[in-house]
Amino acid sequence: MTRTVMVVTHGGRPEAISAAAEAVSELERAGFRVIRPGDESIPPSYRAPVGAPSLQESGVLEGVEAVVVLGGDGTILRAAELTRGSTVPLLGINLGHVGFLAESERESLRDSVRRLAERNYAIEARGVLGVTISKPSGESPLTDWALNEATIEKADRQRMIEVSLAIDGRPLESFGCDGVVISTATGSTAHAFSAGGPVIWPDVDALLVVPLAAHALFARPLVVGPHSTVSVLVAESGAREAVVTMDGRRQVVVKQGTQIDIRRGQHPVYLARLSTAPFADRLVNKFTLPVQGWREQR
């Protein structure tokens, strides 16, 4: 029986094009049938609009065993768009800078293909966010999702947005700010981390709320439970428009009076894992943390 793998890569970088050619060659040598975006009625630069139906529903992923992703975290997020709603795992091979979601580096490509062919890998489910955007006009809400984070940010660089924050329908605080980031544990090492939020271990089922440059006495990051709903209302004062962005890839401009409700999403994203090293080691390796002296003392 023919085994099928999809290869997704950052199409604009020479290194990615070269790595993709090598990956396809290695996969075919290992006996895989290889498809790529563009081969199966998927535009090469596919970017799902907010609220778009899943490609899983179209049958494109029928029989696909795994997706080999060549690039950084942005390319892996694109691959997650392609596979949303399916159980097809993503195997990330880092060609970017940090590549926190990637499982191996460029120089290990051949070994990664061998492990894939041998089915010598684990599959890890990562929770996602479900995002509902309710506009004041009363039209049907927009729904979307995110693997890393959803952000509500000011559209006008010269003015703050005013937001009201509620947890499980209970008002918590109102303040002016540049925006608010709501992330998964997976996304805690991305935008939320850059904004001063804590790193959350990926097996912690929680939502992280991080205000951006908030003009308030109490505007620290919050970690809320997995069954909670975080609501952000764009208030009638402040900037007239805000931008809601999912994973830095899909966005919609909203007006004052819009409410964004964020909760745990229904369909996790699956990652193929080659390493059994604990998450602490991944942090050390990806961020090049200075721990050598501490280990010598031990």
pLDDT at 295: 55
pLDDT at 50: 67
Q: Can 111 be counted among the known catalytic residues?
A: no
* Run means of pLDDT, 10 residues per run, the chain, 298 residues: 88 80 92 78 52 60 91 91 92 84 89 94 96 92 96 92 96 95 96 95 96 90 96 89 94 95 95 91 86 62
Roughly how many angstroms between the first and final C-alpha of the chain, as a whole number?
A: 51
pLDDT at 43: 46
Instruction: Read off φ and ψ for residue 9, nearest 5 degrees.
Output: -140, 165
Q: How far apart are CA 282 and CA 214, in angstroms?
A: 31
pLDDT at 41: 45
Q: How far apart are CA 140 and CA 59, in angstroms?
A: 27
Q: Which domains does the chain have, with CATH numbers?
A: 3-126+268-293 (3.40.50.10330), 129-264 (2.60.200.30)
Paired residues of 67 in beta bridges: 6, 90
Distances (CA, A) of 272 to 179, 187, 208, 226: 33, 17, 24, 23
Q: What's the alpha-carbon Rg for the chain, to the nearest Å?
A: 20
Q: How far apart are CA 162 and CA 174, in angstroms?
A: 7
Handedness of CA 141, 144, 145, 146 (dihedral sign): negative
Instruction: Collapse the DSSP code of 93 into the 3-class scheme (helix H, G, I; strand E, B; otherwise coil) and give the result.
Output: strand
pLDDT at 44: 47
Q: Which helix (H) or strand (E) holds 142?
A: strand 142-146
Q: Using one digit for the tens of pLDDT, what is the confidence trace for 11-46?
A: 667 888 888 899 999 999 999 999 887 654 444 444
Of 39, 73, 168, 247, the catalytic one is 73
